[in-house]
Chain A
Amino acid sequence: MSDAIVETQGLTVYYGKHRGIVDVDLSVEQGEVFGFLGPNGAGKTTTQRVLMDVIRPTAGTATVFGKDSQKDGVSIRKRIGYLPGELSLYPNMTGRNFLRMIGSLQEKEIEPEYRQELYQRLDLDANRKMKEYSQGNKQKIGIVAAFMGKPDLLVLDEPTSGLDPLVQQVVMDLVREAKNDGRTVFFSSHILPEVEAVCDRVGIIREGMLVKTERVETLTKRQFKRVHFEFQNLPPADVFAFDGVTETGRDGQTVMLEVRGGFQRVLETAMPYGIEDIDTPPVTLEEIFLEFYDRQNQGGNRA
């Protein structure tokens, strides 16, 4: 039996004639942090809303904790902390009262000490009315609401949206702590460095279709490598023009390459010009992501 905490099969949502998501098959395992990547409108929010039974699928199934997200929604949602992407709060309610209300609706024991700790770590004054909060502070309220019950599963839709870099780090720390406690996190984002920093696996969604699901380290390993050669004698312009190699630029005596596949031929070609230095800057997930989209736009297959 699968350990999947979240599992979707052929999950499809159409809004009338408009595409939401199409045939999304994904699974999120117990205790992992799963990053759901994609540009705006790709279908990240739709997928998460189906899991929360906010919207209903046109076709396919979604299970959470092995239960049907629609039929067993009530028992499932008792174990989920949810942060919606478009967080709207009651303007005349204080942050504290709102959190108290959410806590009571979740029918869960909330540790006041932990809630207080979240206020402090997020630098949040919960005694003010929502209408007095900036967008960032409203987001902090949403984050406290999602985390305060220490749920088994966190479904977070762009959790760092609108937050300053310091608070973004705190949120990433909270995600890491949840993972260390053995809890599962499913969060969507289009900020790749944060996904790279905390996720075990990522799913890349494009135009409603899941185009790739991979472990972060595998994804970064499988893709191209970047190599910068500093030469004694600058080689001619077309010397690296062969399959699997792209020259991306030159800077003085330095030639910058992107290499897919083996290095043998690259090194053999470079050696005669006298290699002074070799640098291999890391390829970020962002670059991999962009490459994915480029490839898809050029007619690549679904992975």
Chain B
Amino acid sequence: MLNLFRHEMRSRLGTILGWGIGLGMFGALYIGVWPEAGEAMQEIGDLAIYQAMGIDMTSFAGYMASVVVQYVPLILGIYAILASTGTLAGEEDSGTLELIVAAPLGRWQIVTVKAIALSLVVFLMIVVAAILDVLVLNAIRGLTEVDVTSSELFMAMIGTWPLVVAFTMMGLFLGAYLPSRRAAALTLSVIFIASYFGLILVGFAESLEPLKPMFLFNYLNSTASVFIEGQKPEDVAILLGLAMLFFGLALLSFQRRNVTVRAWPWQRARVGAKST
């Protein structure tokens, strides 16, 4: 089990650095322009569209929360879709899963190792990005007044992890349940896009307010308060609870799955139910 975990992590080292640095550069760019563009940003911060999208440009903390904290899970969500659906479903599509399943490992061990590895990978990506952004934050500190400390920024970025993990586990489950990576990735993409833009639509139309709890981005605090209060514990609990639920469903689906047989669940062989 430990050997599979080592293999999973080793094969993703480059990805962690690549995505982590890329994500960090994205945040660094926004932080870096603040000394020059901060005033202009504050002027356009009152626009209705920004308010509907929950973007606050009136202070550095609001700007950082709106841009960095909100976009970290948005960008990492793309990785979550690619990596989580590529993990069981993608490996089955490419044929490499058969050798793993044929190794002396239980199905639950395979899913557990892959789930832990994926969760750790996205966590490390955020850590790499956060370190880079903290460095840039400290670099601009002498140029302009910033109301966010290094540790506040670091912790706020780390706080986006539960949301990314929830999507990652959802992708792992879809990959274990659906017949192909394509079907899993398509489904997760639709859910992901709906989760983000659905919440924005709620900002425009109050009648949609009851739908708010359905959108996972609802459980991410991307306002200036995140630097002081962090993510709400109940939101973190909901996201981690969902992650655990989808992990459990992935375990269950993969336990029953015929590997190498790309079929919809209702087309798969049922143990003990002999067809005619």
Cβ–Cβ contact A75 & B94, under 8 A: no
* B260 x A54 contact (CB < 8 A): yes
Given that A104-B3, A106-B103 are contacting pairs, would A54 and B271 also be in contact in the complex, using a CB cutoff of 8 Å?
no
Flag if B104 contacts A75 (CB, 8 Å).
yes
- A contacts, CB < 8 Å to B: 12-17, 20, 49, 52-59, 73-78, 80, 82, 84, 86-90, 93, 101-102, 104-107, 145
Interface size class of B (residues with CB under 8 A): 20 to 34
Instruction: Give CA–CA (A56, B256) in the complex, Å.
Output: 8
When A59-B274, A75-B104 are in contact, do A88 and B98 touch as well, CB less than 8 Å? yes
| Main DSSP-derived SS at the B contact region | loop
- Chain B residues lying within 8 Å of A57, measured Cβ to Cβ, are 269, 271
Question: Which 4 A-B pairs rank lowest in CB-CB distance, beginning with the nearest?
Answer: A88-B95, A16-B267, A104-B3, A105-B103
Across the interface, do B104 and A74 meet the contact criterion of CB distance under 8 Å?
yes
Please provide the chain B residues from 1 to 54 with a CB less than 8 Å away from any CB of chain A in the complex.
3-4, 6-7, 11
Are the CB atoms of B275 and A17 closer together than 8 Å? yes
Q: How far is the CB of A52 from chain B (nearest CB, A)?
A: 5
B258 near A56: Cβ-Cβ < 8 Å: yes
Nearest chain B residue, comparing its CB with the CB of A105: B103
B contact residues around A88 at 8 Å (CB) = 94-96, 98-99
Find out whether the CB atom of B267 lies under 8 angstroms from the CB atom of A15: yes
The minimal Cβ–Cβ distance linking B162 to chain A, given in whole angstroms, is: 31
Q: Measured between C-beta atoms, what is the minimum distance from A145 to chain B in Å?
A: 8
26 contacts between A and B (CB under 8 A): A13-B269, A14-B269, A16-B267, A17-B275, A49-B98, A54-B102, A54-B258, A54-B260, A55-B260, A55-B261, A55-B269, A58-B273, A58-B274, A75-B104, A78-B104, A86-B95, A86-B98, A102-B103, A104-B3, A104-B6, A105-B3, A105-B7, A105-B100, A105-B103, A106-B103, A107-B3
Contact B101 A16 (CB under 8 A): no
Q: Which B residues are CB-close (under 8 A) to A102?
A: 99, 103
Q: Is A53's CB under 8 angstroms from B3's CB?
A: no
A55 touches B258 (CB 8 A): yes
B271 touching A16, Cβ below 8 Å: no
CB <8 Å contact, B271 and A56: yes
Least CB distance from A109 to B in Å reads 14
A106 and B3 alpha carbons, distance in the complex (Å) = 9
B249 proximal to A (CB < 8 A): no
State A88–B96 Cα separation when bound (angstroms).
Answer: 5
B residues less than 8 Å from A82 (CB atoms): 99, 102
Q: How far is the CB of B265 from chain A (nearest CB, A)?
A: 10
**8 Å CB interface, B170-203 against A:** none
